[in-house]
Amino acid sequence: MKGAIITDLKKLEIQEFPDPKPDGKNVIMKVQTCGICGSDIHMWELGDKPGYKGIRPGHEHVGIVVDPGSRTDLKVGDRITSLPVSAPCGKCTACMEHRYDDCMNRIKGVGNFADGPAGTYAEYFFTAPNLVRKVPDGMLNEEAAMVEPCATPYSAVKDMNIRRGDKVLVFGGGIIGSFAAQWSKYFGADYVGMVEVNEFRGKKNLEVGNIDELFDGKDPELLQKLIKASGGKGFDYVLECTGQSQPLNTAILASKMYARIAIIGVSAQPILFNNIYALFKRARLQAYLCYTDAEFDEVMNLIATKKFDVMRYYSGDCKLEEIEDCFKYLHSPECQKVKIMLQFPRD
């Protein structure tokens, strides 16, 4: 089969790999659609570094069953997606306490580690049977592929208990920041502001009603404007979705005393922040990576029943042989796309 692999600094090659072999347990999927994630681009940016070179990326996938493995409820041709994590190890403290979502061995997720499970920028993929989910009838492939990136902001916003009357600030208007703003509105936030440097993405969030106000991340008077927009006291909740140092520092300064600040943006490099800001604000910073199995299912149901619109972000497609050019475009300041899907031929 053909698949993509990071081979060097900003170098993504298409190579031949062995097809997955049926083993009577794992489910084998023929990939049809895979979303291009910002974390994949971060890894590509560091492709000459140990731990990144050799990664076979892709984790926002949907396809059809080639071999159902041990899943008796699946048949060849069924549309499926899966949680892009490793199966719980069954041996660590979390697993022994039946807290399988907290198993640290699951962190080696699909398409994120050179020595971890291969990702879904490939024609075929196999995964543990308990991670596989049937795609409901009537749900588009593109909708199913966006369950994964939609679930992390859902987990964060739900955990932070954002509700009616709250003022929320989101840093970043990429797909994660867009979903974070949309979920904040979904749960009832009175006001959602967004800081973004890409004019297209910021205006897109205004256009679809995710946010009430857009702030230019390059504005030298940004902090003063944010404090004013908050009513002078700072924001109740701040969701940092860029994975960068400056936005995190500004997020802390723009928050109120004792505010909850969610760190959702992924960075492949260290992030620096001035901890004195957090100390003075007594800020409660919490990091969010992924979601529980139940939250993945909740998000899939909300999207499938058209209660939560994700297609507003769908910006176009690319083929496997075009994937590196697509990465370069998404990485550029001129990018005017939010979510691009890698599409495979459907027989």
What is the average pLDDT across 302-315?
97
Least-confidence region, from 134-138, 148-152, 331-335: 331-335
Tens digit of each residue's pLDDT (9 = 90 or more) over 166-180: 999 999 999 999 999
pLDDT of residue 335 exceeding 70, the answer is yes
* Rounded CA Rg of the chain: 20
For residue 130, which phi and psi values (nearest 5 degrees)?
-75, -10
pLDDT at 107: 65
Give percent above pLDDT 70 in the chain.
99
What is the average pLDDT across 115-127?
90
Cα 276 to Cα 269: distance, rounded to the nearest angstrom: 22
What is the average pLDDT across 23-40?
96
Judge residue 161's burial from the number of C-beta atoms within 10 Å of its C-beta, 0-12 exposed, 13-18 middle, 19 or more buried.
exposed
pLDDT of residue 222 exceeding 90, the answer is yes
Instruction: Report domain extents, the chain.
Output: 2-146+310-343, 150-287
pLDDT at 172: 97
Tens digit of each residue's pLDDT (9 = 90 or more) over 57-113: 999 999 999 999 999 999 999 999 999 887 778 888 988 887 777 887 776 678 877
Cα 114 to Cα 308: distance, rounded to the nearest angstrom: 34
Q: What is the mean pLDDT of the chain?
A: 93
Please enumerate in sequence order all residues whose Cβ is within 8 A of that of 67, keeping only pairs 6 or more positions apart, or say none: 22, 27, 28, 76
Residue 222 tokens read as 């940004």
Give percent above pLDDT 90 in the chain.
81
What is the DSSP pairing of strand 191-196 with strand 213-216?
A: parallel
pLDDT of residue 344 exceeding 90, the answer is yes
For domain 150-287, give the CATH superfamily. Answer: NAD(P)-binding Rossmann-like Domain (3.40.50.720)
Beta bridge partners of 28: 67, 126
Same fold, 2-146+310-343 and 150-287: no
Tens digit of each residue's pLDDT (9 = 90 or more) over 255-284: 999 999 999 998 878 889 889 999 999 999
For domain 2-146+310-343, give the CATH superfamily. Answer: Medium-chain alcohol dehydrogenases, catalytic domain (3.90.180.10)
Tell me the three state secondary structure of residue 4: strand
